[in-house]
Amino acid sequence: MKCALFSGCRTGFDIPQHPTSAKAVLSRLNVGVEELDFGCCGYPVKEKSLDAYLLLAIRNLAIAQARHLPILTLCKCCFGALKQAEHYLATDREKLNTINSILEKEGLHYRSGGVKIYHMLTFLDQEIDKGVIQRSIVHSLDGIKVAASYGCHALRPSAITGLDTQPNAPTIFERIIQLTGAEPVQWSKGLDCCGNPLLEKNDDLAREFVLGKYETAKQEGADIICTACNYCHIQFEYGRALILKSGLTKPIPAVLLSQLLGQAMGLEKSLPGIESESAA
Amino acid sequence: MLYTWSFTIAAAVFLLGIIYRTMGFFRLIIGPEDTEITTADRVKTFLFGLAGLLFSPVRIFYFFKTAITDVVLQLPLKRQEPQKWVMHICIFWGFAALFFFHALDDYVSQALFAGYMPTLNPYMFLRNIAGVMVIVGLAIAIHRRRTHFRLKQITTKPDYFAIVLLAVIMISGFGLEAAKIISSGVFDDMVEEYSSVDYDEELPMLKAVWQEDYNVSFPGETIEVTPEILEEGRILNEDNCMACHANPKWAVVSYPISIFMKPFAGFLNGNRLDSLILAIHFLSCFLALAYLPFSKFLHILTTPISLLISGISGQQVKRDENKATRRALDLAACTQCGTCTSHCAVGPLYEIFDNPWVFPSERVTQIRESAWGKSMDAESKEAFLQGSFICTLCNKCSQLCPAGLDLQDIWMAARERMKEKFLLDPVVKVREICKENDAKKAESKGPVKLRSEQKSIVKSLKESFQATTFSHCYTCLTCTNSCPVTGVTGDIGKFGSAPHQVIHALVLGQTDLAKDASIVWDCLTCYKCQENCPQGVKITDIFYQLKNMVHHQEFGI
């Protein structure tokens, strides 16, 4: 199987380890990856202008469509933005024509539907045989307790994103984590927002949410927090820096799903938190 | 006389310009003005780094590797886009060859090649080939700028001026050579200076050969041509001329031009127009020289440096002093090639916002011009802010830049500078405006009046984001109960702090109230409210729409 990898803007500078680790995992699972000249998913401009958001999102779908490839996103905000745009244009022909008239300037055209959009989680869950993943685990993460941070924009609105059939009690993230041998914990704030959308807009609130997540995850027995979204991950790094700066006890590490899988598959050299925990 | 004067002026302008620019690289501050790094620090750190280069074999290796692969062969460009590589290599190699071996032939060619004469082969032939290369490169450049849909959008007059100036130099060069080929005046001068032919008997024979074989035109003279005369003349030619002058047919471009010129030879030769073309040729060269420090031509000197820096240090240099210097240098190393803009993640938004500053290449130009002292009007400033903050800092431009610029660092520094000047991200500014409005409204105690003139806004709300659903709300407060923000802020006593209040205000047609509600601007967009609404009200999408509306009102986007 072959996919067009949609890493997302924030991986270019802030978290380059996300695509690197994801590509290593995908290659281990024999998934072909193409990196097309994708642009922004549109999520960052959604609050400025609906048209701007739709143009950017649909442009990416058109690029993938021209190559007949499904899109595989690493970031939940990218996933949600693309899914919503696809949904939106499925019913609004007029908008579709407007967007297409702009895209045609660069030789692109989008036909409604017809582009499969995956997030790393849905891809692993739906397209890859569980046995294949399990067989590629060389270094089982037994005994590590993982708190999965779901990420709002992939989870909701569930009728559009379709991440899990049970949007109020999803298990897709836990199902994948379990394949590594690690143990997912029940986390009261697992489905809550990380606070990143308000970062630099209302820092007090943004801080409150991420600190709450760190605190509860630890209280509820997690050794690490697992993320599968660029913005969530950036937010956890921001929160971690805040906690370290304030001199409180060191927070539990937040790792990307692809790093967690990579570690279990023996692809990652060392991962803060995991290595030491399993050695102990 | 004209030559000496114009050269002296051009060289002086060039030198002063280069000194001015170089000082600027160490002096200009791109980024927050509140910095403790002084010019002296920057010069010192730069020299220190330069000295360090000499002692590090690894760095020396990377220096030469980059110089060969990136500067001379420009392989990254070839990997990116073969057409662009052909274009630039043609201009770069062709022009470099002409500059060193033709313009500076007294110093370079003479020193390197024994018996060098510009009129001998292979120099005559190679000069024509180099000229052809430049012209081919320029033709591709014009073609690209006229057909590539993004390049078309960012190409400005200075880009075309640069192309035209180079074209004038090349075309006048070929024209000059062709005019000299047919010129009887040049022939007479050369005979007088270099030959020892007898004017009465031998000269007509030599003229016959040069007319027949070398395409010289002798207007007003009747030259007798017979096989015997030509034979004699060829011997004379061999004895007197050929040691220093090859057959001009080897000038593969100028010679055919000279054939086209021949019908006008009487006029051309009679007025010695070859000296006029010569003047055009050297004056255009000197103009380019003087123009260099003040135009994109400066990249000829700065881009190799920025390529070497990124070859040795990678995208990010370590020390803050060098970062500051590099930013100023990088701005002057931009060639306006448009690679960043063609691949920009948010570049397509130009079609919607009609704002050139969403394009990275345009922002580089603006930041450079501002740094060198050009002021901006308020409206442009606003648009520049919009463009700057639409950038997602995805780093693609820095990774793709064929000149090796660390654009990411420039964007971040520029944002810091804007913050310092209280030029906020429009997204943040808009929040401030709305929250302020909200506070003002809280003070007025009068009863809320229904306003009918809001109908069109309500209608547009219903149409957009497919948010047709707010009138289904029966105020069950499920949204407010599931809202994490309300959960944290706690108090819903004040209007606008809970989602259901906003929806209810919309039901009543109070769009103004709704758009200024604090919860709209503190919304995390987590979609919990929308997910849980028993009536299917698209609460989060409605909030998005309200924010869109305010952006439209405030910034016209």
Q: What is the pLDDT of residues B250-288, one digit of tens each?
A: 999 999 999 999 999 989 888 889 999 999 999 999 999
Cα B456 to Cα A98, B58, B112, B355, B459, distances in angstroms:
22, 68, 80, 27, 5
The H or E element containing residue B388 is helix B378-390
Average pLDDT of chain B? 92
* Confidence band for B422, pLDDT divided at 50, 70 and 90: confident
For residue B398, count other CB atoms closer than 10 A to its CB.
24
- Same domain, yes or no: A152 and A106: no
Q: Do B427 and A47 touch (CB under 8 A)?
A: yes
Q: Taking CA atoms, what residue in A is nearest to B426?
A: A48
Q: Do A200 and B428 touch (CB under 8 A)?
A: yes
| Per-residue confidence (pLDDT) for residue B489, from 0 to 100 | 86
- Same domain, yes or no: A107 and A168: no
* Confidence band for B444, pLDDT divided at 50, 70 and 90: low
- Same domain, yes or no: A189 and A264: yes
Place of tokens 């630099």: A200
Size of interface A-B (CB pairs under 8 A): 137
- B-chain residues within 8 Å CB-CB of A13? 393-395, 408
Alpha-helical regions (H) of A104-147: 120-127, 130-135
Mean pLDDT of B304-329: 94
Is the residue at A131 inside a domain?
no
- Within 8 A by CB and 6+ apart from B16, the residues are none
Mean pLDDT of A223-231: 97
**Fold for domain B449-555?**
Fumarate Reductase Iron-sulfur Protein; Chain B, domain 2 (1.10.1060)
| Per-residue confidence (pLDDT) for residue B460, from 0 to 100 | 59
| Per-residue confidence (pLDDT) for residue A248, from 0 to 100 | 83
Which is nearest to A70 in space by CA: A22, A118, A29? A118
At residue A220, the 3 state secondary structure works out as: coil
Is the residue at A196 inside a domain?
yes
The answer to whether A260 and A184 are in contact (CB under 8 A) is no
Q: Do A193 and B526 touch (CB under 8 A)?
A: yes
Burial class (CB in 10 A: 0-12, 13-18, 19+), A125: buried
Interface of B with A in 514-553 (CB under 8 A): 521-528, 530-531, 538, 540, 544-545, 547-548, 551-552
pTM assigned to the model: 0.93
- Is the pLDDT at B69 greater than 50? The verdict is yes
- A-chain residues within 8 Å CB-CB of B522? 198, 202, 205
φ/ψ of B481, rounded to 5, equals: -70, -25
| Per-residue confidence (pLDDT) for residue A279, from 0 to 100 | 40
Q: Taking CA atoms, what residue in B is nearest to A45?
A: B390
- Same domain, yes or no: A174 and A238: yes
A227 beta partners: A256
B107 beta partners: none
- B-chain residues within 8 Å CB-CB of A52? 349, 352-353, 557
Range of the domain at A200: 140-279
Q: Which residue in B488, B527, B545 is closest to A152 by CB distance?
A: B527
Does B408 contact chain A (CB < 8 Å)?
A: yes
Is the residue at A128 inside a domain?
no
- Closest-CA distance, B414 to chain A, in angstroms, reads 17
Share of chain B above pLDDT 90, in %: 79
- A-chain residues within 8 Å CB-CB of B426? 48
Give chain A's domain count: 2
* Confidence band for B434, pLDDT divided at 50, 70 and 90: confident
| Per-residue confidence (pLDDT) for residue A156, from 0 to 100 | 95
At residue A122, the 3 state secondary structure works out as: helix
The H or E element containing residue A2 is strand A2-6
Mean pLDDT of B221-240: 92
Does A189 contact chain B (CB < 8 Å)?
A: no
The predicted-structure confidence for B121-151, as pLDDT tens digits, reads as follows: 999 999 999 999 999 999 999 999 999 999 9
Mean pLDDT of B449-477: 64
Q: Could you write out the three-class secondary structure of B167-215? A: HHHHHHHHHHHHHHHHCHHHHHHHHHHHCCCCCCCHHHHHHHHHHHCCC
Q: What angle do CA B170, B175, B178 make, to 5 degrees?
A: 130
Record the tokens describing residue B43, joined without a space: 């010069």
| Per-residue confidence (pLDDT) for residue B521, from 0 to 100 | 94
| Per-residue confidence (pLDDT) for residue A213, from 0 to 100 | 97
Give how far the C-alpha of residue B493 lies from the chain's centroid of Cα atoms, to the nearest Å: 56
Mean pLDDT of A170-186: 96
Q: Do B544 and A50 touch (CB under 8 A)?
A: yes
φ/ψ of B95, rounded to 5, equals: -70, -40
Record the tokens describing residue A35, joined without a space: 């990196």
- Is the pLDDT at A275 greater than 70? The verdict is no
| Per-residue confidence (pLDDT) for residue B450, from 0 to 100 | 47
Which is nearest to A262 in space by CA: A250, A275, A251? A275
The answer to whether B45 and B321 are in contact (CB under 8 A) is yes
Mean pLDDT of B402-411: 96
Does A192 contact chain B (CB < 8 Å)?
A: yes
Is the residue at A17 inside a domain?
yes
Q: What is the CATH number of the domain that holds A15?
A: 1.20.1050.140
Cα A271 to Cα A65, A248, A259, A261, A267, distances in angstroms:
36, 22, 8, 11, 11
- Within 8 A by CB and 6+ apart from B533, the residues are B478, B479, B539
φ/ψ of B533, rounded to 5, equals: -60, 120
Q: Looking at this predicted complex, what is its ipTM?
A: 0.95
- Same domain, yes or no: A114 and A243: no
d(CA B503, CA B347): 35
Is the residue at A132 inside a domain?
no
The answer to whether A158 and A191 are in contact (CB under 8 A) is no
Burial class (CB in 10 A: 0-12, 13-18, 19+), B79: exposed
d(CA A215, CA A188): 11
- Same domain, yes or no: A45 and A170: no
Q: Do B544 and A46 touch (CB under 8 A)?
A: yes
Record the tokens describing residue A126, joined without a space: 């739906």
| Per-residue confidence (pLDDT) for residue A276, from 0 to 100 | 44
* Confidence band for A104, pLDDT divided at 50, 70 and 90: very high
Higher-confidence position of B431 and A159? A159
d(CA B403, CA B210): 49
Interface of B with A in 287-346 (CB under 8 A): 343-346
| Per-residue confidence (pLDDT) for residue B512, from 0 to 100 | 84
Interface of B with A in 462-491 (CB under 8 A): 464-466, 484-485, 488-489
* Confidence band for B462, pLDDT divided at 50, 70 and 90: low
For chain B, give every residue range classified as CATH 1.10.1060. Answer: 298-423, 449-555
Amino acid at B145: R
Q: What is the DSSP letter of A252?
A: P
Burial class (CB in 10 A: 0-12, 13-18, 19+), A26: buried
Record the tokens describing residue B168, joined without a space: 């004038």
- Within 8 A by CB and 6+ apart from B451, the residues are B509, B510
Domain at B298-423: CATH code? 1.10.1060
Burial class (CB in 10 A: 0-12, 13-18, 19+), A20: middle
d(CA A88, CA A92): 6
Give how far the C-alpha of residue B161 lies from the chain's centroid of Cα atoms, to the nearest Å: 13
Q: Do A10 and B526 touch (CB under 8 A)?
A: no
| Per-residue confidence (pLDDT) for residue A277, from 0 to 100 | 45
Higher-confidence position of A43 and B510? A43
- Same domain, yes or no: A62 and A182: no
- Is the pLDDT at A68 greater than 70? The verdict is yes
A6 beta partners: A73
- Is the pLDDT at B458 greater than 60? The verdict is no
- Is the pLDDT at B427 greater than 90? The verdict is no
- Is the pLDDT at A164 greater than 70? The verdict is yes
Give how far the C-alpha of residue B468 lies from the chain's centroid of Cα atoms, to the nearest Å: 47
